[in-house]
Amino acid sequence: MDARTGKVISASNAETRVHPASLTKMMTLYIVFDQIKRGRMSLDQKITISEHAAAEPPSKLGLKPGQKIELRYLIRAAAIKSANDAATAMGEAVGGSESGFANVMNQYARAMGLRNTTFMNANGLTRPGHMSTAHDMAEIGRRLYYDFPQYYNIFSRNATSAGLKTVQNTNRRLLDAYPGADGIKTGYTKAAGFNLVSSAQRGDMRVIVAVMGARSSASRNAEVARLMDLGFSKMPRVARVNPPAPLRTVGTQVAAARMAPAIAAGTATVAAAAAEADSPVGAAEPVAVRGSTVAVAAPVAETAALEAGRPMPRTLSADAALTRNSQSIAAAIAEVNAELADASARVAAGRPVPRPGPAVAAAPVSGPVSGSASTFASVAPSAPTPRVKAPALESAPITVANAGGGTTGGNDWGVQVGAFRSRGDAERQLLTTALQDVPELAGGLRRVEAAKVQGVTVYRAQFVGLDQNSAIAACGSLARRSADCMPLAPGI
Burial class (CB in 10 A: 0-12, 13-18, 19+), 62: middle
Q: Give the H or E element holding residue 48.
A: strand 46-48
CB-CB contact of 223 with 198 (8 Å): no
CB-CB contact of 98 with 91 (8 Å): yes
CB-CB contact of 248 with 38 (8 Å): no
CB-CB contact of 32 with 78 (8 Å): no
Task: For residue 40, give the 3-state DSSP assignment.
Answer: coil
Helices (H), 183-249: 217-234
Catalytic annotation on 217?
Answer: no
Can you tell me the distance from the alpha carbon of 381 to that of 169, in angstroms, rounded to the nearest whole number? 24
With left for phi above 0 and alpha for psi between -120 and 50, is residue 146 left, alpha or beta? Answer: alpha
CB-CB contact of 200 with 180 (8 Å): yes
Strands (E), 205-342: 205-214, 238-240, 288-290, 293-299
Catalytic annotation on 82?
Answer: yes
Can you tell me the distance from the alpha carbon of 470 to that of 53, in angstroms, rounded to the nearest whole number? 41
For strands 193-202 and 293-299, give the pairing: unpaired
Q: How many other CB atoms sit within 10 Å of the CB of residue 448?
A: 18
Strand partners, 310: none
Point out the catalytic residue in the list 25, 60, 81, 185. 25
Can you tell me the distance from the alpha carbon of 64 to that of 452, in angstroms, rounded to the nearest whole number? 31
Q: Distances in Å between the alpha carbon of 370 and those of 6, 8, 491?
A: 28, 23, 39
Catalytic annotation on 219?
Answer: no
Can you tell me the distance from the alpha carbon of 310 to that of 308, in angstroms, rounded to the nearest whole number? 7
Position 323, amino acid: T
Can you tell me the distance from the alpha carbon of 360 to that of 254, in angstroms, rounded to the nearest whole number? 47
DSSP 67-83: -EEEHHHHHHIIIII--
Q: Give the sign of the dihedral formed by CA 140, CA 145, CA 151, CA 152.
A: positive
Pick from 283, 126, 304, 127: nearest CA to 219: 304
Point out the catalytic residue in the list 42, 50, 82, 198. 82
Would you please indicate which residues are annotated as catalytic (active-site) residues?
22, 25, 82
